[in-house]
Structure 1
């Protein structure tokens, strides 16, 4: 079984883009204008000096840069290609997307105008025109750009969201502006966004108090995006309702994890100060920026990441202090494995922003991906010092030490936060679980077992704790009937996680039920085919049921996946000598 520690994270789960083979390996640099550019890091992309590229080379390199998320380099290369060709519409569309994606808004506006003049049809042109017109304060032109949007599903949401703020810029009255949002009511899943934008518009017209009942209802029903939390608290604060805002934030800080809890403490500090004068959103341009971010965030949640990135970039062109848009862009770069670019974007969030702490959590993760362990430790230590009451950084720091096999330091790290908990809550199971893992890996079972039991006491059906504790009992030939039941419960909850399915198969192996073991271990390897431990376990089970050629094949596979050093020699011995006679199966405990 491969043992893993799973704890709540502030960022979305990462996914890897399928990278094209690298065509070049020269250094590149980003140029361009606009808010929040991510700096291209030497070694990330090829240099794009015109004299160094043939047209076919530039096309291949441009495609590679575009598909790996290096927008600055893609914009350069596609710009070169456009100068050498008659303006292929696919190339032009990609060039425009890359310009926006890299933050080179001025070049994007120029190219969009050329594309419009040439009659090229790409949905990004009117979106860039809309942002440019709003930035210039020309809402007549903004309305014309909006009318050129298509009829696809994204446009069905964009038109009313953006249209409300365009109407405000046109000088229309409250009723006309709010009427623009009515079309959102027909789109499933947009209730929270519609509530937020109606509240912002009412607040702009001096009627924030009228927005509060609907916001309060959404909060009580559990709607809790970071944007919603900030908006609800800001309007309460401006209306002089600091007490309910404090109660709301205190509950979030105590009961939630992730970004909702992370922004609660700085928001509590914000409402302790005098409320700002005026509305939350000062004008139509900034309102449109918020609408673009909200749509981008929605698309990101559906993994429509290219459009999400473009909308987040445009939102920053219209409102460059929209820090949550920088956080989204950092997330998207991180998901695309653009670790250095992600760090630069996260750290473009000002130190005083309510989102900076969350961004630094992600910075530490990027540093670990870059093998900068010392940098990650320094980042996390800074976060722990800044917010000793928040568990995310301390758990991440402990996890880092644990992964680096520095178990004594990991245990000391977890001890620091656990010592400060007066009454452990449900969410604290992660701390006891994490410390239990460190104790177990440090061969301190007498300390590990109580931590796992405490984690289960706090969260009785937590599949990761069930898996780890039950597997440990199986390995130790203890409480086997209870362990088997726990592993079945864990698999029932996480049937898609190979290492949990492996644990159940390995339990049957230890009990001598090799046929049943094979069933589960084959499934585990199907789920995680490149895990060396899982392949090793399946090889053992195959040997026990007489499938010796298949056993050796699995052992060879296990070695090919670079197992930890202490596993290499035992696997090599099995390849040479096979397995000896099976040990007497462990008998299930009687419970007496």
Structure 2
């Protein structure tokens, strides 16, 4: 069977398999298992893909295309017990296979087999290993052999380009710090005229820990505060900053043994590869980093993020559930786990996760806010209001950034039927952030729908459109405001623009139909109402009313509306 792109092939064949009543029977044969595996591969469904690739390999054990795809699935699952032997077998037949090389190198380092890792690097054909990864691993192999002069020479030899040189020196500093030479390590990380060698968040943490070993806790504290205040509110940075501020003893634990440095190298590649076209490769590197250094939470979080991007929510939930409660990342991980649970369809489970988190970490604004968001999404508006209120009570003196809490509580209050409380929240949000388009639009549109303060509502919506001109829903609000004011000709342009920006929204298409009818473009109005029906149903959209407009026209429907209605 030839080597082909599994995703492309699955895209061609998936329709045939899905439509065929023979698919279950086919899956028991080589071709059936192969096609079923490719279908799963196309969906990034790694558990199913792995199962069917295994079935296919049982029938055709020397098919290296199958073996390669099976290896991808197993590494993506973090199943190194099966991935390791697969990589060995694949490398014997295809020494140039890059994934097999990555897995075998990670396995050797995981087992502290530094001589074996050195042999893998030395014997690999060209381009099996990324030069950056190979250079860093070569240095850490010498650290593992306890030959620090050789390790420094390896790191210093990474001079092919500026990036290679920078990472070589960063890892040299880590190795020096691990050996206890904090003075030399700090000199490297302090950098020269171009500033500190803070290539990653991990480098910043390492530098702070090294400064603490040198008795320069205040310098470390100032450096961390600068990073956090500069828009880098990382959980680990904040936890380290707080420990230094309390005067707690801070050890250097960024790298405690040679394989920790290799895990850092794999994680560096994973982060660099986290782009639209290489997300799967990034996932494999992240999984291997976590395999080399179990408990490397940053690798787990990245793997979870990549799995979420592939809509593999159950796998992401599984990864996030492994973050321990004593980790600085625990709250972040639990919030994300609740999100992946909800995205997978387990809405109640996601809410339960946040409720449990609020029971132990309820003094954090983010926890109460996320719980409010979860309740609001599930239309439990009373519970949402209560959670948002707890978040607001934790604020102290509200700052501009807190507008969103008043806004979301206002939405929950409005949906719960308490307009007075909702309006008060929206206006408080506008005090904190006067030009916030979301608040201006929501409050303006609500006033419009209730027939209150049309002039103020129009002004708010106009300001919202100015602040966010490419938002179809806000632009729709402007068109609808003109419609409500009887300014039908003025309504046409924004309504056409709204449909252009958000073409498949049934409410916007319905609104455009009404506007077009009122300016005499009745055939076009019928077309838009038909479009609205094709995209519906939707909240706040009366499908029967649209059908009635198609039957008798908008004029007749408006005459039948209850007094005060103008929709």
Distance 1:223 1:513 in 2: 58
Q: Give the stretch that moved more between structures: 458-467 or 406-415.
A: 458-467
Matched, 1:123 2:110: no
- Counterparts of 1:87-486 in structure 2, within 5 Å, are 87-119=62-94, 121-146=96-121, 148=124, 155-169=130-144, 171-173=147-149, 175-183=152-160, 185-186=162-163, 197-212=171-186, 227-228=202-203, 230-243=205-218, 245=220, 260-261=234-235, 264-265=238-239, 268=242, 275=249, 279-301=253-275, 304-475=278-449, 476=452, 477-480=454-457, 482-486=459-463
Cα-Cα RMSD? 4.0
Distance 1:575 1:208 in 2: 79
Q: Which runs of 5+ in 1 are unaligned?
A: 1-16, 26-45, 584-592
Q: How far 1:123 sits from its partner (Å)? A: 1.9
Q: 1:440 to 1:181 in 2, by over 3 A?
A: farther
CA offsets 1:40-86 (integer angstroms, 9 cap, x no match) = xxxxxx99xx9961222111210122222222332232233234347
Distance 1:507 1:209 in 2: 67
Distance 1:162 1:244 in 2: 31
- Check conservation: 1:436, 1:448, Cα contact below 8 A: yes
Q: How far 1:358 sits from its partner (Å)? A: 0.9
Q: How far 1:363 sits from its partner (Å)? A: 1.5
Q: 1:343 to 1:449 in 2, by over 3 A?
A: same
Matched, 1:530 2:504: yes
Equivalent position to 1:487, from 442, 464, 470:
464
Distance 1:473 1:196 in 2: 58
CA offsets 1:307-346 (integer angstroms, 9 cap, x no match) = 1111111112211111222222222222222222222211
Give aligned pairs, total.
537
Q: How far 1:216 sits from its partner (Å)? A: 7.1
Distance 2:386 2:98 in 1: 55
Distance 2:154 2:197 in 1: 27
Q: Which residue of structure 2 aligns with residue 66 of structure 1? A: 41
- Check conservation: 1:253, 1:262, Cα contact below 8 A: no
Q: Which runs of 5+ in 2 are unaligned?
A: 1-9, 559-567
- Check conservation: 1:467, 1:490, Cα contact below 8 A: no
CA offsets 1:147-206 (integer angstroms, 9 cap, x no match) = 647659x9354344444434534535263243255446247xx97x67854542342232
Q: How far 1:361 sits from its partner (Å)? A: 0.4
TM value normalised by structure 2: 0.81
Q: Give the stretch that moved more between structures: 195-204 or 120-129.
A: 195-204
Q: 1:285 to 1:224 in 2, by over 3 A?
A: closer
Matched, 1:541 2:515: yes
Distance 2:359 2:241 in 1: 19
Distance 1:551 1:518 in 2: 11
Matched position secondary structure for 1:562: coil
Q: Relative contact order (alpha carbons < 8 A, sep ≥ 6): 1 or 2 greater? A: 1
- Check conservation: 2:364, 2:394, Cα contact below 8 A: no
- Check conservation: 1:24, 1:61, Cα contact below 8 A: no
CA offsets 1:444-494 (integer angstroms, 9 cap, x no match) = 4433334333323333443323332343344441315532441232224xx
Distance 1:199 1:522 in 2: 60
Larger-Rg structure: 2
- Check conservation: 2:152, 2:172, Cα contact below 8 A: no
Structure having the higher helix fraction is 2
Q: How far 1:498 sits from its partner (Å)? A: 2.9
Distance 1:318 1:58 in 2: 32
Q: Which residue of structure 2 aligns with residue 43 of structure 1? A: none
Q: Which residue of structure 2 aligns with residue 38 of structure 1? A: none
Distance 2:501 2:125 in 1: 43
